[in-house]
């Protein structure tokens, strides 16, 4: 523990020095750092997907720097400092885990999540969905919305019911497409939302699943590009049937 505390103290000291002595670090604001923090978060996400532990470690360090940076800026205006930040999250964790720090008994993970949402409402939240950031990507936001609604019991009983909803939304979308109506986008969104719900019942993270498919498509398409070029063919001048030959080869070699 002493070694870990010393490492954190070292980072805090370096942050103080950089803020005082480096022109770039001195110039930064919370607003200027925001987009960089988002970028670092995506880089950490990519490292996790790749299973690259060294890169995960590096990206966590980058994010830790950003969190300390925000805390330093907050302390300069007297709004808060890093101790306030850490004590705040500690107090929140203790309050929201009465099964660990209190006398509450829980049966499983689902009961923990349900209690978590109920405690947040007691803390003054007006809506269970308040904690879902508006700026989240739509796919991730849909998952979070559904998780939070589930936490207070607003959910389907089983996967079969959700699949029936998916099929219903597919029929409704098909109908609107055939009619050429102005509700196509809305019905398409309903279908996506129900598919994300179904993924949750299958214990699949839909964002991860889609990213796996994105990467698979990229690998296979780049195989198509490389192999067709070896045969002296130009991608933009090939027919779809010709391209399908390489695409199917890509699937065969499992690139």
More confident residue, 167 or 111: 167
Give the pTM: 0.71
What is the tens place of the pLDDT at every residue in 2-20?
A: 999 999 999 999 999 999 9
Domain extents in the chain: 2-79, 129-205, 207-253
What is the tens place of the pLDDT at every residue in 37-51?
A: 999 999 999 999 889
Q: Three-state SS across the chain? A: CHHHHHHHHHHHHHHHHHHHHCHHHHHCCHHHHHHHHHHHHHHHHHHHHHCCHHHHHHHHHHHHHHHHHHHHHHHHCCCCCHHHHHHHHHHHHHHCCHHHHCCCCCCCHHHHHHHHHHHHHHCCCCCHHHHCCCCCCHHHHHHHHHHHHHHCCCCCCCHHHHHHHHHHHHHHHHHHHHHCCCCHHHHHHHHHHHHHHHHHHCCCCHHHHHHHHHHHHHHHHHHHHHHHHHCCCCHHHCCHHHHHHHHHHHHHHCC
Model confidence at 169, in pLDDT bands (50, 70, 90)? very high
pLDDT at 115: 85
Question: What topology is assigned to 2-79 in CATH?
Answer: Helix Hairpins (1.10.287)
Q: Does domain 129-205 have CATH number 1.10.287.1080?
A: yes
Residue 255 reports pLDDT greater than 60: no
pLDDT at 124: 76
Let me know if the fold of 2-79 is the same as that of 129-205: yes
């Amino acid at each position: 523990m002493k070694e870990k505390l010393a490492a954190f103290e070292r980072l805090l000291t370096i942050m103080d020095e950089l803020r005082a002595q480096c022109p770039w670090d001195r110039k930064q604001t919370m607003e200027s750092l925001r987009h960089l923090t988002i970028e670092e978060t995506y880089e950490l996400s990519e490292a996790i997907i790749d299973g690259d532990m060294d890169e995960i470690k590096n990206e966590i360090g980058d994010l830790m720097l950003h969190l300390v940076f925000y805390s330093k800026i907050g302390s300069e205006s007297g709004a808060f400092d890093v101790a306030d930040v850490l004590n705040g999250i500690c107090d929140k964790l203790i309050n929201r885990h009465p099964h660990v720090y209190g006398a509450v008994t829980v049966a499983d993970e689902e009961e923990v999540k349900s209690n978590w949402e109920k405690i947040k409402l007691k803390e003054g939240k007006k809506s269970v969905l308040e904690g879902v950031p508006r700026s989240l990507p739509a796919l991730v936001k849909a998952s979070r919305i559904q998780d939070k609604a589930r936490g207070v019991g607003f959910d389907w009983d089983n996967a079969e019911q959700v699949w029936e909803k998916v099929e219903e939304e597919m029929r409704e979308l098909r109908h609107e497409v055939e009619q050429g109506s102005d509700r196509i986008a809305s019905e398409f969104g309903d279908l996506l939302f129900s598919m994300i719900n179904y993924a949750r019942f299958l214990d699949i993270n839909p964002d991860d699943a889609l990213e796996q498919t994105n990467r698979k498509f990229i690998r296979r398409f780049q195989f198509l590009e490389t192999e067709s070029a070896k045969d002296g063919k130009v991608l933009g001048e090939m027919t779809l049937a010709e391209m399908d030959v390489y695409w199917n080869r890509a699937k065969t070699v499992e690139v």
